[in-house]
Amino acid sequence: MGIVLAPFRSEHVARVADLHCKALPGLLSAMGPAAATAFYEGYLASPRCVAFVDEHDNVVRGFVLGSGDPQGMRRDALRANIRGILRGMTASVLRRPGVLWLLAGGAAGPSAGGFDRRAPELTYIAVRADARGAGVGSALLAAFHSALRAQGVGRYELSVETDNHGAVTFYESRGLRQAGTYRQFATTYRRYALELPPASGTQTR
């Protein structure tokens, strides 16, 4: 089964949100598919969003999403779909009151080290369990790198839970190096960074 990457589009939103909730830990998964769908609809509306999916027979096997300007991407998402995001968050809190505690715990931002929230970032990457080991994650990462380099971005960062040993191994084997740790939403994260070689004819930032 070959890997076929495509830019993230509207028809992918529900399936990407569902995969996110099944494959990734964290607040967005805790809030559930409706809230995740609302956020991804907002991300899709941002011109700063860099995202790709791998799909086969209408199944999204993996996706990657990030930005050279993650703060701007998040602002764009909120502006584009604030009502949908608030509805999704409200429904999540009513269904699972514990989510409110997680939201309150992260409202102040990262602590115990923190990181520069303005830094270019790979925000999410996920691969279905039955597609792991087939090169999907590597292909998504390569597409993300190419897109950032084309924008002149020379370095990006990402976060991973300290106990997610599979993800840590994946990132470190591909050249990412730990840049720090922080705590947010009742979880301790490692912050990783990667220096990208410039694309031909571009200036890095």
Domain containing residue 29: CATH number: 3.40.630.30
Percent of the chain with pLDDT over 90: 64
pLDDT band at 67 (very low <50, low <70, confident <90, very high): very high
Residue 60 domain flag? yes
Residue 48 located in a structural domain: yes
What is the spatial distance between Cα 203 and Cα 185, in angstroms, rounded to a whole number? 36
Residue 182: inside a domain: yes
CB atoms within 10 A of CB 159: 20
Does residue 143 contact residue 125 with C-beta atoms inside 8 Å? no
Residue 85 has pLDDT above 90, yes or no: no
pLDDT category, 83, cuts 50, 70, 90?
A: confident
Q: State residue 102's pLDDT score.
A: 52
204 located within any domain: no
pLDDT at 87: 80
Is residue 63 in some structural domain? yes
pLDDT at 10 over 50: yes
Please give the pLDDT value at position 107: 47
Instruction: For residues 3 and 144, give the distance between their C-alpha atoms in angstroms, rounded to a whole number.
Output: 15
Compute the average pLDDT of residues 127-136: 94
Is residue 205, in this structure, part of any structural domain at all?
no
Note the pLDDT of residue 97. 59
Looking at per-residue confidence, does 53 or 184 come out higher? Answer: 53
Residue 195 has pLDDT above 90, yes or no: yes
Instruction: Please provide the size of the chain in residues.
Output: 205
| Mean pLDDT score across all residues of the chain | 87
- Rounded Cα gap, residues 195 and 161, in angstroms: 21
For the chain, the domain total comes to: 1
Residue-level pLDDT at 28: 83
Q: Tokens 């939103």 sit at which residue?
A: 13
Residue 160: predicted pLDDT: 94
pTM: 0.86
Q: Is residue 9 part of a domain?
A: yes
Tokens 């996110």 -> residue: 20
Could you tell me if residue 179 is inside a domain? yes
CB 9 within 8 A of CB 51: no
**51-66 average pLDDT score:** 95
* Domain hosting residue 76, numbered range: 5-195
The gap between the terminal CA atoms of the chain, to the nearest Å, is: 37
pLDDT band at 108 (very low <50, low <70, confident <90, very high): very low
